[in-house]
Amino acid sequence: MNERIVLDVSHLTLHGKSSASVTWWGTFAFMLLEGTGFALLIAVYLYLESLASEWPLGAPPPDLGPGSVLTAVLIASLVPNYLIARWAEQENLHKVRIGIVIMTVLGIVPVVLRFYEFPALHISWDSNAYGSILWALLGLHLTHLVTDLGDTVVLAILMFTRHGANKRRLGDIQDNALYWNFVVATWLPIYVCIYWVPRL
Amino acid sequence: MTARPLRLPALAAVLACGGCGTPWQSALHPGGAQAGGLLDLITIFTAVCGIVWLLVMIVTLLTLRRRRAGIEAPLPRDEGTERRPRRAVQAAVATTVVIIAGLTLLSFFVTRGLTADDPQALVVRVRAYQWWWEFTYQDPRPDQAFTVANEIHVPVGRPVRFLLEAPDVIHSFWVPSLAGKQDLIPGRSNEITLVADQPGVYRGQCAQFCGLQHAHMAFLVIAEPPDRFAAWQVAQRQPAPEPATDEASVGRRIFLARQCAACHTIQGTTASGTLGPDLTHVASRRYIAAGLLPTTRGSLAAWTADPQTLKPGNNMPMVPLGSDELSAVSAYLTSLR
Amino acid sequence: MSVAPEEPEVLDRRLDAAALDRRLDAVWQTPRGLWAALATVDHKIIGRRYIATAFVFLALGGLLAVAMRLQLARPEARVMSADRYNQVFTMHGANMMFLFAVPVMEAMAVYLVPLMVGTRNIAFPRLNAFSYWMYVAGGIVLWGAFVFDMGPDIGWFAYVPLSGPQYAPGKRADIWAQMITFTEVSALAVAVELVVTIFKQRAPGMSLDRIPLFVWSMLVTSFLIIIAMPAIMVASTSLILDRLIGTHFFNPAEGGDVLLWQHLFWFFGHPEVYIIFLPAVGMVSTLVVTFSRRPVFGYLGLVLAVISTGILAFGLWVHHMFVTGLPRLGESFFTGSSMAIAIPSGVQIFCWLATLWSGRPVLKVPLLFVYAFLFTFVMGGMTGVMVASVPFDTQVHDTYFVVAHFHYVLVGGAVFPLMGAVYYWFPKITGRLMSERVGRWVAGLVFVGFNLTFFPMHLLGLAGMPRRVYTYPAEMQWGSVNLFISLSALVLASGFLLFFWDAFRSLRHGIPAGDNPWDAPTLEWATSSPPPSYNFARLPVVSSAYPLWDERDALSVATGLRPDRREVLVSSVADARPEARESSPRNSIWPLWTAIATSIMLVWSIFTPWAVVWGSIPIATALIGWFWPKGVPEDDA
């Protein structure tokens, strides 16, 4: 077929930022599908509660300690998370290196705290359906904590190699920060469900 | 089967079906008001949808009136020619909305009609097991309650309220000639009320896949005049008759001594197992093993000898019996009328 | 950090056509050899494999159907045991839904969507490769289990408690649950790729109102997948947890609930129907336009109908549960919503009819299938209106009436358009046409065979025959109709056989097609058939919804992408204004390793929960290998 050149795109930047990048949209699509998963599990929790004669079923409400500390850590982590995204936007590699180390630490702490949360539930996954849904909620969120931590660790290592200093990697830092916001955001309704709904 | 004049829709449906199926288990052969109402609904829906389908097909065929043999250059864009199809499409969509709304309302009113409560209803508790049915006729006086399996009798004209329970997996209670179906779900209690307006034998069958022998999980509903029903009820409340022959008494002794009594109940004896069907009046029923075989001495013997070949996977183990023992047990079971 | 300054001599506009093709091919091609074949990320190669694999599963599922019809041809037949039959009908349903229908629609999109929107590869091409391997692995797991008599026997819907720890001992139900995981992972991955490809990689100028209707359908379908499939993942994971580590999600004795399973399953399961049907809608729109020789009537109406169908699809699930004893008022709401979905379907039908009415239809084989679709699907829609009514449904639910209904909708509504689409796009993919003469026989046999097979099932259902029974007593008098159905099924099967034969024969001996044999208007025909590895030497620029009809002399194109590395163009979501150039990943073997590691973990987890912990280590390793920069230019900028 004959062609007629009507447009020259050579002036466009290579690898666009945020909404001009495909990974940004991909991250959003994955957040949508995982968010649906979280929403469904929370719906299951509320559904089981609506059927039960008493709630919590066969156990005292979970201890508030570990879960609340974890929530505080997650919320606090949003500040450095915001900063690292901005530094990556400004292509300030030095600050990004500092930020990614901080985010790695702030990724490890919630995983550790999570293992104090499970005993604080006062019920095992195989005791009854209430125990099952609690462990499932914590477990699903734990896999997200661990996955994002893995991603953060790999990026941290990359930042200290020769691969760190380019726009694409800094874009990855931004997408990772975006995803961490999602991990924190999904936790909040789960926290309310697990720790406060039984106290209503 | 039915003495009452066939309704017109039923006749049409029977003609369309070319005689497939039998009247005793068919949504097209109602034996009660509910199934009759449902058949009316089915007929109206079919007629309306059929006409709509036919009209759409006529238009579809007419689109071919300007067909071409080969691919030509695409038609030029002309807004003027779009106006007539646009009006037609708008009219068709509007008509669709009206028809859909009408059918939805109709469906809603029929649904309301399905849930009539009647304090005079006979109450029967149904427990569906893999792969048979247990029916307990409730009675305010506990000693008047009784339990049967896979075959129930109901009085013509009197509503029967079935309380539906499933101790193992999900089953579905369905007697198409009398009404639509209702699931029996572990951990939940459902109910359905049926009325048989015509005396007759109606067959029901589990409609929800429930495992290996889902295909062999039928039961009979025998609708009879109130006096005959009352007589049946009296008979069913009786303990099992004493064996009349020596062979039958030997059979009873074997039955009570071997594993049989651990799973089956026979009122009036020490057999009080509850894992399998109550056999107190097993020989009074038309079928054994949930519709598998007609009740004869031969089929009872064959079933006892090797239940796993006749209905693979069912929960009755093979109890090794010699041929004399088998003969005696079948003689005893045949006497349980 | 800075981008290397562009060297003027590698800019594509300075190259003549032959030199440009040579350079692009050097960058985009998949070299010969097994290793390269395993490492390729070319959406066309993966799409071809996907389509071929899906049709293999169609054939296998068809054989199961024939086996069932043999068993049911006569009352009390003993062609197979109850145990085998229950595996066969479960396999038939699970195979057709999870291994054929959804994947084949996504497969067609994997091949076609990048070409139709005018880009060089799908977004996230390595994820695409991964998704194909996961799909194949899921198919092998399910069919391997079946061969070893471990095929699931719990129905494709796997209702608890029948599928739970107490009533389904052994590993059969676990196989079912993990097969779900495999196929959902792959379906979700493709859905994400398609959404991003359609949002961000459209040709400059392809604003929302110029997107081909098939692409619109796939966009909505992908969103349905993203929102519906997590439900089945939640369900199947809870089931496997109940079975393996003793949770109680579905155990009523410990606070669980049996109907919870059905809510979760059908919250996925009903949209699933539209996940299969909406792509077919897009195919029908495409075929109707090309073969009626005019732009579609009511583009906006069709797009809105697809979108509203997608939204309504999430409000229908309870109509699969009308006989479970839910409150009647709630059920009436779902009657209303289920009826309402007939309205967007009606809009679509009327728009197609208006297009055909005012066009000059050419009855080539693809359009024949569209007419077969109209005849059959409209009937399926009518029975759909019937089963949407609660009282009507109480009589026909779980009977052969419903079997007839959903085969009319799924085979008539999706497989007929798909077969038309195969006849239509076969020359695009292979460069050769399938036989017009054989195609007419295929269409005739399949259409007649289908209707003779499935129409009588409506009557069987009303005559009281339940579904999923491995046999029936002679005294029920269903025998003669069943025999008729079984014989008709052979006619249907012969049609499919002829179809497969035609496809095979045409691969080598079909008439060479040329670039655009149907004089079609959309971009996939703007390149050669089959397309080169890079799809388009210069990316098309679009100024109408029918670019090849509106610019018949020369195609508008863009220049300025580098020919010495894999680059695609990123454009804005609404009006497809070019925003950036984006590098597209090179071939990589890591998606295959990741898929193998994931498969090992999933199968292992059937046997011990610790597999999830230990099996994650190789997966993480493979993922790091996947994403670690290899020093090629595409990785670093």
State the smallest CA–CA distance between residue C200 and chain A in angstroms. 7
- Put simply, the chain B residues between 232 and 291 with a CB less than 8 A from any chain C CB are 291
Asked whether residue A88 is assigned to any structural domain, the reply reads yes
Chain A contact partners (≥3 CB pairs within 8 A): C
Mean pLDDT estimate for chain B? 91
Q: Give the CATH number, domain containing residue B233.
A: 2.60.40.420
B119: cis peptide before it, omega within 30°?
no
| Amino acid sitting at position C375 | F
For the CA atoms of C7, C9, C10, C16, the dihedral, rounded to the nearest 10 degrees, stands at 160
pTM comes to 0.95
pLDDT tens string C288-333: 999 999 999 999 999 999 999 999 999 999 999 999 999 888 888 8
Give the Cβ contact number of residue C11 at 10 Å.
17
Asked whether residue A9 is assigned to any structural domain, the reply reads no
The residue-averaged pLDDT of C230-235 equals 96
Please tell me whether residues B252 and B215 are part of one structural domain: no
What is the predicted pLDDT for the residue at B21?
61
**How distant, in Å, are the alpha carbons of A30, A166, A168, C29, C515 from that of C124?**
13, 20, 15, 17, 28
Please tell me whether residues B141 and B162 are part of one structural domain: yes
- Confidence tier at B12 by pLDDT (50, 70, 90): low
Contact C541 A51 (CB under 8 A): no
What is the predicted pLDDT for the residue at B13?
52
Q: Give the CATH number, domain containing residue A37.
A: 1.20.120.80
Q: How many domains are contained in chain A? A: 1
Asked whether residue A184 is assigned to any structural domain, the reply reads yes
Q: How far is CA B156 from the centre of its chain?
A: 17
Please tell me whether residues B295 and B179 are part of one structural domain: no
What is the predicted pLDDT for the residue at B79?
63
The residue-averaged pLDDT of B182-205 equals 95
Give the Cβ contact number of residue B71 at 10 Å.
16
Res. C384: pLDDT tops 70: yes
What is the predicted pLDDT for the residue at B20?
57
pLDDT tens string C559-615: 989 898 999 999 999 999 999 999 999 999 999 999 999 999 999 999 999 999 999
State the smallest CA–CA distance between residue B212 and chain C in angstroms. 6
What is the predicted pLDDT for the residue at C339?
92
Burial class (CB in 10 A: 0-12, 13-18, 19+), C476: buried
> Measured between beta carbons, which residues in chain A are less than 8 angstroms from residue C255?
48, 51-52, 57-58, 128-130
- Pick from C34, C23, C117: nearest CA to C532: C23
What is the predicted pLDDT for the residue at B196?
94
pLDDT more than 70, % of chain C: 98
Please tell me whether residues B289 and B195 are part of one structural domain: no
- Confidence tier at B4 by pLDDT (50, 70, 90): very low
State the smallest CA–CA distance between residue C21 and chain B in angstroms. 30
pLDDT tens string A140-151: 999 999 999 999
Res. C128: pLDDT tops 60: yes
Res. C8: pLDDT tops 60: no
Instruction: Closest CB to C325: pick one of B62, B169, B185.
Output: B185
Please tell me whether residues B40 and B176 are part of one structural domain: yes
- Put simply, the chain A residues between 47 and 66 with a CB less than 8 A from any chain C CB are 47-48, 51-52, 57-58
Query: Which residue segment(s) compose the domain that B295 sits in?
Result: 246-335
Interface test with C, best of B170, B171, B220, B287 (most C CBs within 10 A): B170
- Put simply, the chain B residues between 152 and 191 with a CB less than 8 A from any chain C CB are 164, 168-170, 172, 174, 176-177, 179-183, 185-188, 190
Last residue of a domain, which of B182, B217, B237? Answer: B237
Coil vs helix vs strand at C571 = strand
A167/B250: higher pLDDT? B250
The alpha helices in chain A, defined as continuous H runs, are 22-51, 65-89, 93-120, 129-159, 167-191
- Confidence tier at B115 by pLDDT (50, 70, 90): low
Res. C632: pLDDT tops 80: yes
pLDDT tens string A19-50: 899 999 999 999 999 999 999 999 999 999 99
What is the predicted pLDDT for the residue at C298?
93
Contact C200 A52 (CB under 8 A): no
- Put simply, the chain C residues between 554 and 573 with a CB less than 8 A from any chain B CB are none
Last residue of a domain, which of B170, B202, B237? Answer: B237
Cα B258 to Cα B264: distance, rounded to the nearest angstrom: 11
The residue-averaged pLDDT of B283-290 equals 96
- Put simply, the chain C residues between 583 and 622 with a CB less than 8 A from any chain A CB are 583, 620
Asked whether residue A84 is assigned to any structural domain, the reply reads yes
The residue-averaged pLDDT of C226-252 equals 96
Backbone angles phi, psi at B224, to 5 degrees: -140, 165
Instruction: Closest CB to C462: pick one of B28, B92, B174.
Output: B28
The residue-averaged pLDDT of B158-179 equals 96
What is the predicted pLDDT for the residue at B250?
96
Q: Which residues of C14-34 are buried (b: 16+ CB within 10 A; e: fewer)?
A: ebeeeebbebbeebbeeeeee
What is the predicted pLDDT for the residue at B76?
84
Cα C601 to Cα C622: distance, rounded to the nearest angstrom: 13
- The sign of the CA dihedral C594, C600, C606, C607 is negative
Please tell me whether residues B233 and B251 are part of one structural domain: no
The residue-averaged pLDDT of A119-128 equals 96
Please tell me whether residues B30 and B152 are part of one structural domain: yes
A56: cis peptide before it, omega within 30°?
yes
C48/B119: higher pLDDT? C48
- C-alpha triplet C340, C343, C348: angle, nearest 5°: 145
pLDDT tens string C97-124: 999 999 999 999 999 999 999 999 999 9
> Measured between beta carbons, which residues in chain C are less than 8 angstroms from residue A51?
255, 257
Asked whether residue A91 is assigned to any structural domain, the reply reads yes
Asked whether residue B11 is assigned to any structural domain, the reply reads no
State the smallest CA–CA distance between residue C628 and chain A in angstroms. 8
Please tell me whether residues B231 and B250 are part of one structural domain: no
Asked whether residue B13 is assigned to any structural domain, the reply reads no
pLDDT tens string A57-101: 999 999 999 999 999 999 999 999 999 999 999 999 999 999 999
Asked whether residue B71 is assigned to any structural domain, the reply reads no
Structure tokens at C362: 């050419």
Q: What interface predicted TM-score (ipTM) does this complex get?
A: 0.95
State the smallest CA–CA distance between residue C485 and chain A in angstroms. 42
Mean pLDDT estimate for chain C? 95
- Confidence tier at A15 by pLDDT (50, 70, 90): confident
> Measured between beta carbons, which residues in chain B are less than 8 angstroms from residue C349?
56
Res. B3: pLDDT tops 50: no
B116/B250: higher pLDDT? B250
What is the predicted pLDDT for the residue at C11?
67
The residue-averaged pLDDT of C80-96 equals 97
Contact C460 B21 (CB under 8 A): yes
What is the predicted pLDDT for the residue at A166?
83
The residue-averaged pLDDT of B330-337 equals 95
What is the predicted pLDDT for the residue at A164?
83
Asked whether residue A50 is assigned to any structural domain, the reply reads yes
> Measured between beta carbons, which residues in chain C are less than 8 angstroms from residue B67?
360-363
> Are B55 and B226 within 8 A, CB to CB?
no
Number of A–C residue contacts, CB under 8 Å: 210
Interface test with B, best of C78, C83, C162, C451 (most B CBs within 10 A): C162
Please tell me whether residues B183 and B208 are part of one structural domain: yes
The residue-averaged pLDDT of A6-31 equals 91
What is the predicted pLDDT for the residue at A165?
82
Contact C350 B89 (CB under 8 A): yes
Q: Which residues of C604-623 are buried (b: 16+ CB within 10 A; e: fewer)?
A: bbbeeeebeeebbebbeebb
pLDDT tens string B234-251: 999 999 999 999 999 999
Contact A9 C624 (CB under 8 A): no
What is the predicted pLDDT for the residue at C208?
97
Structure tokens at B117: 């409560």
Q: How many domains are contained in chain B? A: 2
State the smallest CA–CA distance between residue B34 and chain C in angstroms. 10
- Confidence tier at B147 by pLDDT (50, 70, 90): very high
Backbone angles phi, psi at B123, to 5 degrees: -110, 125
**A34 close contact with C: CB closer than 8 A:** yes
Cα C303 to Cα C527: distance, rounded to the nearest angstrom: 26
Asked whether residue B188 is assigned to any structural domain, the reply reads yes
Last residue of a domain, which of B237, B256, B283? Answer: B237
A138/A14: higher pLDDT? A138
State the smallest CA–CA distance between residue C444 and chain A in angstroms. 36
Res. B19: pLDDT tops 70: no
Cα B12 to Cα B32: distance, rounded to the nearest angstrom: 18
Asked whether residue B1 is assigned to any structural domain, the reply reads no
The residue-averaged pLDDT of B47-66 equals 96
pLDDT tens string C539-562: 999 999 999 999 888 999 999 898
For chain C, list the domains and their CATH numbers. Answer: 36-636 (1.20.210.10)
Res. B225: pLDDT tops 50: yes
Asked whether residue A2 is assigned to any structural domain, the reply reads no
Interface test with B, best of C254, C284, C324 (most B CBs within 10 A): C324
Query: Which residue segment(s) compose the domain that A44 sits in?
Result: 20-199
Please tell me whether residues B217 and B320 are part of one structural domain: no
What is the predicted pLDDT for the residue at C328?
81
Res. B118: pLDDT tops 90: no
Asked whether residue A11 is assigned to any structural domain, the reply reads no
